[in-house]
Amino acid sequence: MDMMTRMAALTAQALRETWPEAQELPEAEEIRGLLAVPPDPAMGDYAFPVFRLAKALRMAPPKIAATLAEGWNHADVARVEAVNGYLNFFLNRLNFARDTLTAVLAAGERYGASDLGAGKTICLDYSSINIAKRFHIGHLSTTMIGHSLKRIFDFLGYTTVGINHLGDWGTQFGKMICAYKKWGNKEEVERGGVAELVRLYVRFHEEAEADKALEDEGRAWFKRIEDGDEEALTIWSWFKELTLKDTARVYDLLGVSFDSYAGESFYNDKMDRVVNELKEKDLLTISEGASVVDLREYDQEGKETKTSMPPCVILRSDGATLYATRDLAAAFYRHDTYHFDKCLYVVAYQQDLHFRQWFRVLEKMGYEWAKDCVHVSFGMISYEGQALATRKGHVVYLEELLDQAQQKALEIINEKSPNLENKEEVARQVGIGTVIYTDLSNNRIKDIDFHWDRALNFDGETGPYVQYTHARCCSVLRKAEAIDLPEADFSALTDNEAQALLRLLGRFPDVIREAADKYEPSMITRAITDIAQAYNKFYYEHRILNDDPAAAAARLALTQAVRNVIKTGLFLIGIEAPERM
């Protein structure tokens, strides 16, 4: 049991012992959610606000806090202070150090894991690359947020299904075939791969600006794909094969894998169910020739409410399906196949209206599980201040970015640690780690502008800094291997630096659960960065292998705990943890 959980249980017990006749007193779980860590350690290690108890106890909050403080008697707490409406706890530092490290070290790299999700399934739709286009930096956030969330939910005991919903259907593939037939040839495409397909795609749009008839030709080729034309399907399948081969290299570099590659084309024969059911439930109306679901809502006075939305188009006037139709078909398939408790869609915030619309359609169809479909939105990513635009050929390809990151990391390692063994492997771990860390270091909804000078800084709040701290812990532990140490004296960990570090370690399981609840991997990134900073402060303030063997044993135990937690945190956000740097 972590210390915050224990403090919540002790507080719940104290409340019932002090006021045994009182009704509606909070349970330990609710108290745990109210406990806070004061910004200044001088105010205590934990603080419990008692204001919400005033009604149940018919007593002023300062009086409640004072009464609890007066009767408090538990060995885990050195003293309790009542300050206005708060109960401030000052822990027994020796007991806190011993209990926290015992819990962390006993769990090893599974510290924070649980069976919270046992028996529950979460589908995660992420990455969703487009066929015949190279994997660019704009796909980084969806890929790494989704990958991290999958690892987090796995860690908490859920069954997860990672889905790469391939963008493998639509008019753009007709345009690609048109461009290939006009300006490409098989040998050049086989040799150039997706890069050659992108060149053709860009040329198509350049030529189409002067020759509008090309757009009609592109649509005609896609119609041939839809109609099952052998030539069109063969070329389309070939483009798809080339793309998956190209992206496999990037996924391997990132350590990302999927359980399903069922893309848009997979649902071609599954959309009749959507359309027919909407018709049966009298939800489809005709608007300018298109079949739509009306999503307007009105108040009692007949005025449209703020929750009204534009209609969700299900069929175009020519009978063609749209993204919403396919997403509805995919949702039905996933619910029928995986029986998910949640289905997460890791897609940029620009698609917010799209998801709100078809989620609402599910609700209007009467599916209670519509509430279990969640749009996990995120901000846009730019590179050195430049926005990305595939059609204009202005794009940063992710494979090239990762290669560049590894090269830059190797240059820094050659400068700082020229004698390091296995430098290329460490450069790979650090280079790729810095790209991932940059993406997952801020709240996911924020836009990201990737800059090398910030990302590859070994001293700031960056991936290399956290990885270096892990390597530092490993180095300290290696030096201690030849030393025969006695049982640890945890009184050596009662200083402010050690206690600050222990509080962060003790809270780590909460951070994992909160990151899952909020679909926010950056909370883990922030937590391990804070732990790295706190450890380095401790490291510089206190000699770990000092003249007191029992104190050294305690500080080594703390170092081992920090190493384990940083490694776990890095794993959960998809980054490797080098042991030497």
107 CB-near residues (< 8 Å, 6+ apart) = 113
Q: Considering only CA atoms, which of 534, 536, 557, 530 is closest in space to residue 545?
A: 557
Q: Please answer whether residues 123 and 166 qualify as being in contact, where contact means their C-beta atoms are separated by less than 8 angstroms.
A: no
Give the CA dihedral 493, 496, 501, 504, nearest 10 degrees: 120
Q: Is 205 annotated in the active site?
A: no
Q: Where are the beta strands (DSSP E) in 339-496?
A: 342-346, 373-376, 381-383, 448-450
Q: At what angle do helices 93-107 and 549-572 cross, to 10 degrees?
A: 50
Q: Are the CB atoms for 44 and 64 separated by under 8 Å?
A: no
Q: Is 542 a catalytic residue?
A: no
Query: Which of 460, 454, 579, 451 has the alpha carbon at shortest distance from 529?
Result: 460
Q: Is 133 a catalytic residue?
A: yes
Tell me, what amino acid is at 44? G
- For the CA atoms of 225, 228, 231, 235, the dihedral, rounded to the nearest 10 degrees, stands at 50
Residue linked to tokens 């391939």: 166
Q: Which residues pair with 458 in a beta bridge?
A: none
Are residues 288 and 299 in contact, defined by beta-carbon separation less than 8 angstroms?
A: no
Lookup: tokens for 376: 């996990």
SS3 for 371-392 is: HHEEEECCCCEEECCECCECCC
The residue from 139, 175, 240, 342 that is catalytic is 139
Is 544 within 8 Å of 555 (Cβ atoms)?
A: yes
As given in the structure block, the two tokens for residue 240 are 């798809």
- How many angstroms separate the CA atoms of 112 and 110, rounded? 6
CA distance 433 to 439: 10
| Type of residue found at 328 | L
Q: Which of 55, 74, 120, 133 is catalytic?
A: 133
Nearest-angstrom CA–CA distance, 259 and 163: 6
Q: How far apart are CA 96 and CA 14, in angstroms?
A: 20
Q: What is the largest CA-CA distance in the chain?
A: 86
CB count in 10 Å sphere of residue 245: 11
Closest CA to 377 of 353, 354, 348: 348
Contact 243, 164 (CB under 8 A): no
Is residue 515 within 8 Å of 524, Cβ to Cβ? yes
Contact 35/46 with Cβ under 8 angstroms?
Answer: yes
Cβ neighbours for 145, distance < 8 A, ≥ 6 positions apart: 126, 346, 376, 378, 439, 440, 444, 519, 521
Among residues 55, 136, 354, 416, which one is catalytic?
Answer: 136
Tell me how far apart the alpha carbons of residues 446 and 349 are, in angstroms, rounded to a whole number.
10
Per-residue exposure over 219-241, b if at least 16 CB sit within 10 Å of its own CB, e if not = bebbebbeeeeeebeebbebbbe
Single-letter code of the amino acid located at 193:
G
Residues labelled catalytic: 133, 136, 139
